[in-house]
Amino acid sequence: MDRTVRIRQFIEDRFLVEFGGEVTDGTDLFKAGVMDSFGYIQLMGFLEEEFSIGVTDEEILTDVFVSLEAIDAFVARKLAGPGAGQGDASCAG
């Protein structure tokens, strides 16, 4: 399944929203009342496990995790860059 679709589906199932209506890919999910602390931890766990990526202490302190768009872009960068899954590591550099 496509990366974006997987993330979107997780958020829709967990947070009872549907993207495309009042919640869009760019919506701040905190401000929209979609995400809370428990959900945020679930989402981070999902991303790390599902895409075998590790999020560093520095990355977690930036604000990339507030919208679907930003989350998706971050995962895409991680998968493409160094330190991601093994397949990615071989083509980095």
The whole-angstrom separation of Cα 9 and Cα 16 is 10
Taking the chain, what is the end-to-end CA distance rounded to the nearest angstrom?
Answer: 27
Instruction: Give the nearer residue to other proteins in terms of CB position, either 21 or 93.
Output: 21
DSSP code per residue over 15-77: HT--BTTTB-TT--TTTTT---HHHHHHHHHHHHHHTT----HHHHTSSTTSSHHHHHHHHHH
State the minimum distance, in angstroms, from the CB of residue 46 to other proteins.
Answer: 11
State the minimum distance, in angstroms, from the CB of residue 69 to other proteins.
Answer: 16
Instruction: Give the nearer residue to other proteins in terms of CB position, either 10 or 15.
Output: 15
Instruction: Give the nearer residue to other proteins in terms of CB position, either 2 or 58.
Output: 58
State the minimum distance, in angstroms, from the CB of residue 93 to other proteins.
Answer: 26
Binding residues for other proteins, per CB under 8 A?
A: 15-16, 22, 30-42, 44-45, 55, 57, 60-61, 63, 65-66
Instruction: Give the nearer residue to other proteins in terms of CB position, either 24 or 92.
Output: 24
Residue keyed to tokens 């905190």: 30
